[in-house]
Chains A and B, each alone.
Chain A
Amino acid sequence: MLRDYLPALVFLILGTLVGVLFATLNLIVARRAPNRSKVEPYECGLPSEVRAGFRFGISFYLIAMLFILFDIEVIFLYPIAVELRSFGKFAMSETIVFVILLMIAFAYVWRRGALEWK
């Protein structure tokens, strides 16, 4: 029984391996020649005007959360759409319920005015 889970395990290991490799390969192989202005942030060729303790507004965070919410919803639809015929009727109704729930959330967010930029 354990054998038919082997591909998932291999997939997991390979995924993490490639992920970690891409993240750290640069640190290992890259040629390092830091100088004073290279470590400073790039702001159109001038020393940065942004003060250290600058706090970004809440609207950016709000928009980011809403985006993630509805983007993940779309990502869930992809696998279903690919194999809809083999899943049968049940999957179709399940997706419809899923989308309606999120539509309610979307209507609520729209009416509360979180989408307008303040």
Chain B
Amino acid sequence: MIKFQMPNLGADMEAGTLVEWRKQLGEFLHRGDIIADVETQKGLIEIEVFEEGTLEKFLVKEGEKVPVGTVLALINDGKSEVTESTVSGEEIQKPEIHPIEDRKEIVHENTELGERIKISPLARKIAEENRIDISLLKGTGPEGSIVKKDIEKAISEVKKPIKDAEKEADKTKEISVKPSGPTSDAMRMAVAAAMSKSNREIPHYYLEKRMDMSKAMDWVKEANKDRPVQNRLLPVAVLIKAVAKALDEVPDLNATWENGLHRKNEINIGFVISLRSGGIVVPAILQSDSKTVDEIMETINDIIPRARAFKLRSSELSQSTFTITNIGEGGADKVFGLIYPPQVGIVGFGEISEQPFAEEGMLGIRPVVDVTLAADHRATDGLIGSRFLAALNRHLQNPEEL
């Protein structure tokens, strides 16, 4: 019997609301099937199942909000039996994918979740319709309850236009210390939680290298020449592929730190996407190393619109093993990222711009990019980091081999 749990879809996820079971009892589940929709701080997420078996029992009802790790359902794989005593809706399991908190803390969180949020029925209805996470709102109604007005305020903030100045300020500081930007409270709180944790727990070290992008840009230009617009490449696809190949050579950076370094078998590159409404999401481009540049571009074309519509799948949100932030393309020369726990590294690309560049005694004007690496000093040392940057540079100088 398999205990299917509320997955942890990121370091910033503590709980999720089971919105809908997409499978019925008795149905045979295949690996990769969407079993349920879960509402998180980041929106509605399709939850995949990673095992095969028959859906035996639901332990959590639709509409219930439960902490990460809660057993949601039992899937019968024809193997071991689970006794009643070990199975209950409230059971706290050590989350399988990213065990980020110790047991004691989770129990504590659970008690907090147990406190019912005071909210008017109308406000609850509107919140559900607009996917507002009420757990993060402060009520102004009777007894501090959340009322319609509070929900409407939260909605208007999500939809509020972004002032340019504010956004510029955000960009230079990147994801680490965004000021009170105009975003939904929920999203803001999620980013805040993850980044605070990162800054609190991870001893970062930073490396920086300027890389010549002329060959890569020429290669992209050449590739795009005969393509219809729909199939054109963006330089970022090349960057992602190059990072993936570099990680393949320096596997200690494609890892997580959870009481020790755990290398990951797959290279799933998380790609920071800024939302126009504020906030960020980091979907993973799965198995980036085994995809061609074209395939990566296809993935980007698929994933960005979905990310912006909050329609990412659980694996895309939970399985990244390393992160790229390309936010520099908005104008900043350099980006120093904060690592997304429990990963151990993040690479930041600044704006690709024409700069004087000396090579082999010659000075020329070339498109260059300033690449930074922030890495977890618990997991690796600077040497590993610089080896990674060197590998990355080498791949960018040989785009045709990507």
**Do they bind each other?**
no
Interface residues, chain B, with chain A CB atoms under 8 Å away: none
